[in-house]
Amino acid sequence: MRICIIGSSRFPIREPFAGGLEAHTHALARRLSERGHEVTLFAAPGSDPTLGVEELAVEQLEPGTGERSDTSYPPHWWMQEHHAYQGLMLELMRRGHERFDVIHNNSIHHLPVAMADVLRIPMVTSLHTPPTPWLRSAMAHVSPRAVFVAVSRCTAEAWRGTVVSQAILNGVDTDRWVAGPGGGPAVWSGRLVPEKAPHLAIDAARRAGMPLLLAGPLLDEEYVAREVRPRLGDDVRHVGHLDQRALCALVGSARVAVVTPDWEEPYGLVAAEAMACGTPVAALDRGAMREVVLGGGGVLADPHDPAALARAMVTAAGMDRDVVRRTAVEHCSLERMVDSYEQVYRQALESPREAA
């Protein structure tokens, strides 16, 4: 099957990953290629060339004098993204049917959704976020032929008033995320941004009396300066933005992984990664956490009880690591996810579609 994957125009699809969306896109494209599909990934400049990448044309558009002084003019980065996806969709409209059998839209930009109906090949769109105004607007007049997949049942339910979607849980490569020895400091991994709330993990770790290591990119400097840096100390350190091998070693050496969504988490890939390492998870019960952190994988905490997460960390740290690992292999594997997407692609190809 000839598969076109539309990825992020802002963050390259390469290690160290900017976030779960980029890690998911990388794993999906790699495994589809390994299964014999012809995969082309359209993504930001600098993405992993082994994935069959064609770089999105993220041009440095310089605003004119009048645009600079117009306070209603969109931010520069917004125009760059718009230009990149507009160029891609126009090219797919012209020649996409000659190159591809199916398109998998794995971006969170509105243009691929808005322009899907002008294509002569089917598009499958993964919903990675709660409903956003720009995506909801693009879906307002979408064709009944459009195919949507949500990364969790929670996310599918959030979108239910806009579109109907099938839930396919994200997966992790359990051959790469391998069991570790545990016993070390607690770990928190992810983007250091308000909605991921690493400051809550720091507070809980201190309450539980556990040292904590933070790993991930600093994508909101104002938040980090206000909420994270003042909390760092001998018992809590930020170890940087790590590639997958180093992150797997760190997570596998931890006694417990802490996951602290301060929003309705669409999936929570870091929890599945930790479980694949045999590291039990202590997570705030928000969004899809209860779909990922099943009984054998960790402990969920009431997000409204400040002491609950600390108690969950202590309880989770005593869990059987073999059981945690087995839970991830059975419920969070990359193979299960790719099997499901292949089935969706076949169904999309079998659906009747009028020529654009």
Name every residue whose Cβ is closer than 8 Å to that of residue 162 and which is 6 or more positions away in sequence.
131, 136, 139, 140
Length of the chain: 356
Q: What is the pLDDT of residue 75?
A: 56
Cα–Cα–Cα angle for 253, 172, 244, rounded to 5 degrees: 50
Q: What is the pLDDT of residue 103?
A: 97
| The two three-digit tokens of residue 177, written as one number | 């995320």
Contact 125, 148 (CB under 8 A): yes
Which residues on adjacent β-strands are paired with residue 300?
A: 283
**Strand, coil or helix: 297:** coil
DSSP labels, 223-279: HIIIIIGGG-BTTEEE-----HHHHHHHHHHBS-EEE--SS--S--HHHHHHHHTT-
Query: Cα–Cα distance between 36 and 76 in angstroms, integer?
Result: 39
Contact 135, 125 (CB under 8 A): no
Q: CA nearest 4: which of 34, 37, 45?
A: 37
- How many other C-beta atoms are found inside a 10 Å radius of the C-beta of residue 35? 13
| The two three-digit tokens of residue 119, written as one number | 């294509």
What residue type is 102 in one-letter code?
V
Query: Cα–Cα distance between 352 and 330 in angstroms, integer?
Result: 35
Q: What is the pLDDT of residue 71?
A: 43
Instruction: Supply the pTM of this predicted model.
Output: 0.91
**How far lies 45's CA from each of 130, 178, 228, 338, in Å?**
27, 30, 31, 25
Query: Cα–Cα distance between 129 and 171 in angstroms, integer?
Result: 16
Query: Cα–Cα distance between 154 and 265 in angstroms, integer?
Result: 9
Q: CA nearest 3: which of 353, 346, 310, 354?
A: 346
Query: Cα–Cα distance between 1 and 101 in angstroms, integer?
Result: 6
Token pair 């997460």 in the structure block, residue? 309
Query: Cα–Cα distance between 309 and 210 in angstroms, integer?
Result: 12
Q: What is the pLDDT of residue 353?
A: 57
Q: What is the pLDDT of residue 203?
A: 98
Q: What is the pLDDT of residue 79?
A: 79
Token pair 């009880």 in the structure block, residue? 305
Q: What is the pLDDT of residue 65?
A: 46
Q: What is the pLDDT of residue 86?
A: 94
Pairing relationship of beta strands 281-284 and 257-259 according to DSSP bridges = parallel
Contact 115, 15 (CB under 8 A): no
Average pLDDT along the chain, 356 residues, taken 10 residues at a time: 95 93 96 97 95 84 47 59 92 96 96 93 95 90 88 96 94 97 98 97 98 97 98 98 97 98 96 98 97 95 96 98 97 97 96 58
Contact 108, 43 (CB under 8 A): no
Query: Cα–Cα distance between 285 and 83 in angstroms, integer?
Result: 38
